[in-house]
Amino acid sequence: MELYGRHVIYTDKEVVDSSNVVEVLSKAIPIYEQNRRETQTLYNYYRGKQNIYSRVKDVRPEICHKIVENRANEIVSFKSGYLMGEPVQYVSRGDKVVDDLNTLNEYMHEESKESKDKELADWFHISGTSYRMILPDKQSEQDEAPFEIYTLDPRFTFVVYTTALGHACVMGVIVVKINGVERYCCYTKTETFEIENDEIIKHEPNGLGDVPIIEYPANMARLGAFEIVIDLIDGLNDMASDRLDGVEQFVQALMVFKGVDIDSDDFSQLRKEGALKVPPEGDVKYLIQELNQSQTQTLVDYTYQTMLDICGMPNRNGGSSTSDTGAAVIMRDGWSSAEARAKDTEMMFRQSEKEFIRIAIKIANQFRNMNLKSNQIDIRFTRRNYENIQLKAQVLTEMLGNDMIDPKLAFEHCGMFPDAEVAYMQSMAYYKKRLAEKTAELLKARQEEVDSAKEEVNGNDTE
């Protein structure tokens, strides 16, 4: 199967309702089915079910190893862990919404959003895209958070966009099997439908007023993290299998009998005794050709390094130098490339996450009487906040010591805090508290000095 990223599903309808939902769905299903087959192939690669298992060896087929070096799993695990190693946080863009924003973050923690973000990242690094769903709590399932968050399987989910300017999402679909029949649960902004065999079997209004399924593409082409290096992964598997074949073929080398007539019974006796008497004009020797392991390793190293370069992953070369600094190691070993790729993925993630936040705020404002707006919230990835912490602390100290710089700017630009606004307000509250305590201590000490002076004066007057 040739893999070039998942296809986006479009419709020329700007509004999907009961009059055209079956038509829109029927046109979308063939593209969805192709995406599903490709996603299943990529998911199999991630689990280790790769092309090497269909290997056929014509010469000495009894020696045919099938070794999987699961580099696909390595790439996805690194990419997801590096991007989502620390929870994504929502931070305020002003000091007026801190309390409501803290409450929203608590709701996300209640819903274990950090683990669902990791699952979401796994899927879009495997498939090239992933899907999240958010719905208000049902009356019977209410908890601290007023909504429920679901990470959906991209093999059974898709969204439809309009071809009009802006390509707004007009329908989200979840595919489920009931009694062997596929049922399509369709969500539009105003209605929900359940469709089987091109017939609407259930139709309800959508009180949310939004499509609750949000797509999170990894990139514009919706390519998986290892999809662009599948050929190299197959090559590494082939080389690992051939190397083991070479070792076994060397150990089980064929024996050549020159000028010696021997039948199968004699050969069996030879294998049992381990020796053979031959006439003077005869010759017996093993037919062997050892695989050149050093040259093979050079090819393996080249293939693996090329794969890492294409995927934007750090290498494992290590190395040392007396002039190495932290920044030098980051540049030399490919961590700068990994960070650049992560930032690229962040941009795509933010775009979808803003739509998710907008719906989450809408539900929270309605059911918890909050007063948040999506433009008051920023999305912050915190994975590198504590790198070069000493340098960042020095920058903060120097900026705070400059009378020309507002302390709030120092907190914002030192890069030390995930939420600079909260850190600034907490620090200012602590500073004012400490200042009040010191002022009280100074006043107390001053009062004690005054009282002591008065006692001394009174004593002298008495004398």
Dihedral sign for Cα atoms in the order 392, 393, 394, 395: positive
Q: What angle do CA 224, 358, 213 make, to 5 degrees?
A: 45
* 149 φψ region: left (φ > 0), alpha (ψ -120 to 50), beta (else): beta
Around Cβ 357, how many Cβ atoms within 10 Å?
21
Q: Which residue has the tokens 């010759």?
A: 283
The Cα–Cα gap between 87 and 463 comes to: 75
The Cα–Cα gap between 417 and 409 comes to: 12
Q: In one letter, which amino acid is 230?
A: I
The Cα–Cα gap between 219 and 203 comes to: 34
Q: What is the DSSP letter of 54?
A: G
Which residues are CB-neighbours of 260 under 8 A, at least 6 positions away?
276, 278, 279, 282, 283, 284
The Cα–Cα gap between 171 and 23 comes to: 13
Per-residue pLDDT of the chain (463 residues; tens, 9 = 90+): 789 999 999 999 999 999 999 999 999 999 999 999 999 999 999 999 998 988 888 777 777 888 999 999 999 999 999 998 878 888 877 666 778 888 898 999 999 999 999 999 999 999 999 999 999 988 766 678 899 999 999 999 999 999 999 999 999 999 999 988 999 999 999 999 999 999 999 999 999 999 999 999 999 999 999 999 999 999 999 998 888 877 766 556 555 556 566 666 666 666 555 555 666 666 656 555 566 677 788 888 899 999 999 998 887 665 555 455 555 555 556 787 888 888 889 999 999 999 999 999 999 988 888 888 888 888 888 766 556 677 788 888 888 888 888 888 888 788 777 667 777 877 888 888 888 888 888 888 888 888 887 777 776 666 5
Q: For residues 215 and 8, is the Cβ–Cβ distance under 8 A?
A: no
**240: closest CA among 398, 54, 47, 67?**
67
Burial letters for 118-127: b for 16+ Cβ neighbours within 10 Å, e otherwise?
Answer: bbbbbbbbbb
Report yes or no on whether pTM surpasses 0.85: no
Q: What is the DSSP letter of 59?
A: S
Burial letters for 81-105: b for 16+ Cβ neighbours within 10 Å, e otherwise?
Answer: ebbbeebbbbbbeeeebbebbebbb
Count the helices and strands in the chain (H runs, E runs).
12, 13
* 129 φψ region: left (φ > 0), alpha (ψ -120 to 50), beta (else): beta
**H-helix or E-strand spanning residue 90:** strand 89-92
H-state helical runs in 318-419: 326-332, 335-368, 389-400, 407-413
pLDDT of residue 387: 60
Q: For residues 354 and 215, is the Cβ–Cβ distance under 8 A?
A: no
The Cα–Cα gap between 367 and 254 comes to: 79
In angstroms, the first-to-last Cα distance of the chain is 110
Which residues are CB-neighbours of 460 under 8 A, at least 6 positions away?
none
Q: For residues 307 and 70, is the Cβ–Cβ distance under 8 A?
A: no
Rg of the chain taking only CA atoms, in angstroms: 34
* 152 φψ region: left (φ > 0), alpha (ψ -120 to 50), beta (else): beta
pLDDT of residue 322: 47
Around Cβ 154, how many Cβ atoms within 10 Å?
26
**154: closest CA among 32, 5, 30?**
32
pLDDT of residue 196: 94
